[in-house]
Structure 1
């Protein structure tokens, strides 16, 4: 009953947008194609930089395709965007899997990826994600538009080992379990309220993707960033199945190939941004708290072993049977990987040295 009511309410909310003509359009005379796109992030948010890199390359490689960017949260709430793409309100959307884990619990697995986006494309993981999205949402999974920036714990006080006891930390759905396992108290706060909460000592710190805290000025209200970091922050580029099926094969090929060609640049871009932003924090007086080797190993085990085992596997596999293939693909040992990168390849420590190496 509640599910039916929710769908009816969503349909009512979507009608004005559907009437406005937000759908794939093709000009039969010259083959021009227009694809509408909405984002889970504000237009100027750093998490849109990757998708705009894709759009710019698409203009060169497939000039008959126009991506019509409709906006971010001002056109649809981020937690409803997946349903907007599934319903065809927008042809395409960019958003993290964390935004729709309620609809697709298998998206909990994305942050554990031991692969770069390029490796996921080569080893068949992209096809598994596509199967999951098609079966549960009627959506085509095209690939990653954000990757290469891990989660980081920012704190007012120095973090001594793995114990956050007595501290409360703003978390996301991706990091709340990790803070709990480190004996901290997770706090659910909108991003726009984090600066004030830190300034007023309402929370002791915050977890965030490695790119983004500076846009909120958080380096002015925290004193430490923890290394090693953990979990990949990724966002997916998705397309409504019906809109996808209406495209000619040339256009479908252009979209998939152009994203595949752009992913290495997107990944490198966010790696660079991670290093640059961390340096910005340190220039502002934030100090890196680097755990010793024993604690570093323990932290990564908390994240990638305990966190993996704590997932609701019964629910994940029941709702997404293909997640069994994803679980098998991601079952890669941590041993021998070191602590300078998360399994997916993003930098997690020694950022100053890495910055020097990249110059």
Structure 2
């Protein structure tokens, strides 16, 4: 009887121990707003692989898919509502939830500076308050947007043009006289093919991943803004993590953000690839270039003050150009 009791107690202890180990590991459901083989998913894919390799028994990430599973402009809602725990996306896709987040693209300041000066903390809190999500990491920094058009221009004006847009350059396109159409990345090729749009806004990197070079004649120089792709996480999902899991995830975030600087050369490399694929460079004069850049930032910040007048001054102080 004693031996049976001992075996039962030992077995129960082992079972509880195994349960405890199992319970300690958390799996986060994640989605990417970009095609999973695109440039803007590369950093995310590397992050997931590293987390899953090093986080056994602590934390794992299960990727449920890309835009085929959750449409690009619905990713923010999916994170906010807890349909997924984690997303590789851009704040430009959930500007309807957090319009202040467009400052993340208007800023020329690197994420390290924003963490030091309080800019990241402010924008993270705004995301928590308005959208039930955390801004965990920025995984592009220093790449620019460009206008891509199928009719030549020689000045900062797009009257008569229909341009594919996202909220980040909606104000700019309107100031240039264009008709702006919000179209998801996965639908833009067809829109170009059918002549629904005469061009689009897009970063210097990632064009060839989507095949758009086949329907694109010109890339306008200069570029503008600072392309923002980030990791976002549902607030409740974060709060459910224990201290060990939070510490582990934070270290992985530090690692993935450390990769931003080495990627800066990628923009010039991708421009060369575009040109080799037939996309011609349409360089504006110095005067027209300055006009385009001035209009871009003027329209962007004016829009921010319009949608968030109470917080815009503090956001501009932290995210805007350094007066020095």
Q: Which residue of 2 aligns with 1:304?
A: 297
Cα distance in structure 2, aligned partners of 1:133 and 1:40: 18
User: 1:1-359 counterparts in 2 under 5 A?
Assistant: 28-29=20-21, 31-59=24-52, 62-63=55-56, 64-269=58-263, 271-309=264-302, 311-317=303-309, 321=311, 324-332=313-321
SS in 2 for 1:37: strand
Q: Is the 8 A contact 1:27 1:33 kept in 2?
A: no
| Residues 46-93 of structure 1: CA deviation (Å, up to 9, x unaligned) | 221121222233346544321111112333333333232233222212
Cα distance in structure 1, aligned partners of 2:237 and 2:160: 51
Cα distance in structure 2, aligned partners of 1:155 and 1:59: 42
Cα distance in structure 1, aligned partners of 2:182 and 2:131: 27
Cα distance in structure 2, aligned partners of 1:216 and 1:268: 23
Displacement after TM superposition at 1:193 (Å): 4.0
Cα distance in structure 1, aligned partners of 2:175 and 2:182: 16
Q: Which runs of 5+ in 1 are unaligned?
A: 1-25, 336-359
Report the CA distance shift for 1:200/1:141 in structure 2 as closer, same or farther (over 3 A): closer
Q: Which runs of 5+ in 2 are unaligned?
A: 1-17
SS in 2 for 1:73: coil
Q: Is the 8 A contact 1:101 1:107 kept in 2?
A: yes
Q: Is the 8 A contact 1:151 1:208 kept in 2?
A: yes
| Residues 267-312 of structure 1: CA deviation (Å, up to 9, x unaligned) | 533x344223211111123221222322222211101124312x15
Cα distance in structure 1, aligned partners of 2:244 and 2:272: 43
Cα distance in structure 1, aligned partners of 2:251 and 2:189: 40
Output the TM-score relative to the length of structure 1.
0.76
Cα distance in structure 2, aligned partners of 1:147 and 1:35: 25
Aligned residues: 305
Report the CA distance shift for 1:27/1:143 in structure 2 as closer, same or farther (over 3 A): farther
**Deviates most, 241-250 or 196-205:** 196-205
Report the CA distance shift for 1:330/1:35 in structure 2 as closer, same or farther (over 3 A): same
| Residues 144-176 of structure 1: CA deviation (Å, up to 9, x unaligned) | 134443211112233212232333222222223
Output the TM-score relative to the length of structure 2.
0.83
4+ runs deviating over 6 angstroms: none
Quick check: which has more Rg, 1 or 2? 2
SS in 2 for 1:327: helix
SS in 1 for 2:281: strand
| Residues 176-211 of structure 1: CA deviation (Å, up to 9, x unaligned) | 322222233323334344334434444322211222
Displacement after TM superposition at 1:38 (Å): 1.8
Displacement after TM superposition at 1:324 (Å): 4.3
**Deviates most, 96-105 or 161-170:** 161-170
Q: Is the 8 A contact 1:148 1:268 kept in 2?
A: no
- In angstroms, what is the RMSD of aligned CA positions? 2.6
